[in-house]
Structure 1
């Protein structure tokens, strides 16, 4: 059966890739919407980026990517981009939340091509900023977490991220006490708080973090493959 290249999605993606070819020594990603579907291309590798590999690390949006806001689709794209660019699972898993918040949430399709671009230099700059902020507790360590949770870097606070759904535990310090919040993001513009703990600043916050992590796992049972 013949395929109409003006309506076939694969043909449109291939045409877009040809229009935005870049030097093969310069890594570049481009994102666009094809018939409303978010599509991300690795121009250097001449490949379409898919969530498949990143889903082995985190499962925020098995249905696909998105960008331009803070939510599940952008979280999956952030993890997939870092994994594809660095080929390092630990880097992708540790930094994708901050990368989503600082980079992916700001992407806008614009210009004559109605798309966004990210270069290797853009990603390197963002990773350098992520790696400058890695303290997770006052002593620089982190609490013991279940297998479906991991610690991630943030510039202004410590964040513990659930891998199978969009739950977070955020650890922030005020002038006199710790504020530890369990919240859910999903596709909301802002996280929804589920529970919280406050502690004197001289106390170790790790037990309270562990309590809220356990509460999240009780609310929604972890997937078996995590």
Structure 2
């Protein structure tokens, strides 16, 4: 029997069981990766509880922290937000085959690793350059701010954004830069603007 998951309500709270072992899935292990909802899981919308469940499911099913971290937002949006668990007798079933099928289609909403990437000599110490095949991405190591560099037809679009619990990153600031301009300077400016909005924790400056 292949691995699967069942969710049902118990006293109003969502309880998730791993089959065939019938062991209860808790947020504890996934909280070491992302801390969206320490009080429990939820389904049926794109928010904190579903985000925690998405991370916990991927971490438990694949046993791979990087896979869980990079794909839990997209998995929440595509799968967990669509699960329903209403009424005393209602429950949902999620098979391993469905998880694999969903993951095979996920190409967007990949979250940069909070502790990943590499230091950049041109950026503040709390920023990292994150490897992405399709675009240049930079991320703050101490909060969920990102700088994304998009290649336009004759200019660069440099966006400072924040993910949070949103389905898509919310832009905080942006610059449109000519192709022959100093793009690295603009990236530095947005990184400093982010640092001015939210100061790094003491000891990480």
Aligned to 2:176: 198
What residue in structure 1 maps to residue 80 of structure 2?
104
Q: Judging by fraction of residues, say which structure has more strand.
A: 2
Distance (Å, rounded) in 2 between the aligned partners of 1:113 and 1:204: 61
Deviation at residue 195 of structure 1 after TM alignment: 2.8
**Is 1:182 the counterpart of 2:161 in the alignment?**
yes
Q: Kindly indicate whether residue 57 of structure 2 is the aligned counterpart of residue 57 of structure 1.
A: no
SS of residue matched to 2:59: helix
TM-score normalised by length of structure 2? 0.67
Aligned position for 2:98: 122
5+ unaligned residues in a row in structure 1: which ranges?
1-24, 137-141
Q: Residue 71 of structure 2 aligns with which residue? A: 95
Shift of 1:105: 1.5
CA distance in 1, matches of 2:39, 2:144: 14
Q: Work out whether residues 118 and 129 of structure 2, in 8 Å CA contact, stay in contact via their aligned partners in 1.
A: no
Alignment: residue pair count: 193
How much does 1:113 deviate? 3.4
Check whether the contact 2:127–2:138 (CA below 8 A) recurs between aligned residues: no
1:72 alignment partner in structure 2: 48
Shift of 1:87: 0.8
TM-score, normalised via structure 1 length: 0.62
Query: The residue matched to 2:41 in structure 1 has which SS?
Result: coil
- Matched position secondary structure for 1:53: helix
Matches of 1:143 and 1:203 in 2, distance apart? 25
SS of alignment partner, residue 161 of structure 2:
strand
- Asked if structure 2 preserves the Cα contact closer than 8 Å seen for 1:180 and 1:208, the reply is no
Look up the match of 1:7. Answer: none
CA contact (8 A) 2:30 2:59 kept: yes
| CA deviation map 1:37-81 (0-9, x unaligned) | 222111222111111111111112222222222222221111110
